[in-house]
Copies of this chain bind each other. A is one copy, B any other.
């Protein structure tokens, strides 16, 4: 592999709360391709609920390890943009993670974290995906050394992943909770508003329509489901609701 031109293009994945109607994702891609024309950009999702750091951490956890080693995962869910929260790069398990130091990387393995040195670059106060995180990801994609991006920090923000909370609601209205199925092998009772959910099923088919139940999802977390219905709509819960 002595000729880098024959190496596969570096992959940069994007995970944001920008949605699809605004031009922000496109602008970020323009910056990335301007700095690293060979980058292969992959959208994870841009439909994170605005500012839901915990949901972003969950979606990143589900996705990153399915990409080849060396991939760069850019996360821009950043309610603190313009404040003092630090821009960081994390190297862990052979992958790179770029984004704000607000806990979005709480569910990836720990590794070496560096605060991105923004020097005298003229960053806006509102769009660090374009001005700081994107350029840092592009530099990694071009082969720049991780070490030159900034100095190591010892105290990156890691959210408690033990809190009982709604991590995500999928397309079908299933409620993905923060409870790992493996950590709760026995009977369990969940209370959501006035509803009490006790039944635990192995498959959807074994539960009558209209009944709420718990099931281990493909992510390894316990999910609250409603056969042939949206558990999230029925229970009126949202991402971030405490359980």
Pairs across A and B, CB under 8 Å, 19 listed = A9-B37, A11-B30, A11-B33, A13-B30, A19-B171, A21-B47, A21-B170, A21-B171, A23-B62, A25-B43, A26-B66, A30-B42, A30-B66, A33-B40, A33-B68, A41-B42, A50-B172, A124-B218, A127-B218
| Residues from 1 to 32 in A contacting B, C-beta threshold 8 Å | 5-6, 8-9, 11, 13, 18-23, 25-27, 29-31
Binding site for B on A (CB under 8 A): 5-6, 8-9, 11, 13, 18-23, 25-27, 29-31, 33-34, 37-38, 40-47, 50, 59, 62-63, 66-68, 71, 124, 126-127, 130, 168-172, 218
B contact residues around A34 at 8 Å (CB): 66-68
Closest chain B residue, CB of each to CB of A176 = B22
Closest chain B residue, CB of each to CB of A41 = B42
Structural contact, B67 and A44, CB atoms closer than 8 A: no
| A37-B130 in contact given A6-B5, A30-B63, A170-B21 (Cβ < 8 Å) | no
As for how many copies of this chain the complex holds, the number is 3
CA distance A59 to B25 in the complex (A): 12
Q: Of B9, B13, B22, which contacts A45 at CB under 8 A? A: B22
Closest chain B residue, CB of each to CB of A46 = B20
Structural contact, B29 and A42, CB atoms closer than 8 A: yes
CA distance A6 to B31 in the complex (A): 20
Structural contact, B45 and A20, CB atoms closer than 8 A: yes
CA distance A153 to B159 in the complex (A): 52
Structural contact, A37 and B170, CB atoms closer than 8 A: no
CA distance A46 to B25 in the complex (A): 12
Structural contact, A68 and B37, CB atoms closer than 8 A: yes
| A18-B59 in contact given A27-B66, A126-B218 (Cβ < 8 Å) | no
B contact residues around A23 at 8 Å (CB): 44-45, 59, 62-63
B contact residues around A20 at 8 Å (CB): 20, 45-47
B contact residues around A13 at 8 Å (CB): 26, 30
Additional pairs, 17, CB under 8 Å, beyond known A20-B20, A33-B68? A9-B37, A11-B33, A21-B169, A21-B171, A22-B45, A22-B171, A23-B45, A23-B59, A26-B42, A26-B63, A33-B40, A33-B67, A34-B68, A37-B68, A50-B171, A66-B130, A127-B218
Closest chain B residue, CB of each to CB of A65 = B30
Q: Of B5, B18, B62, which contacts A27 at CB under 8 A? A: B62
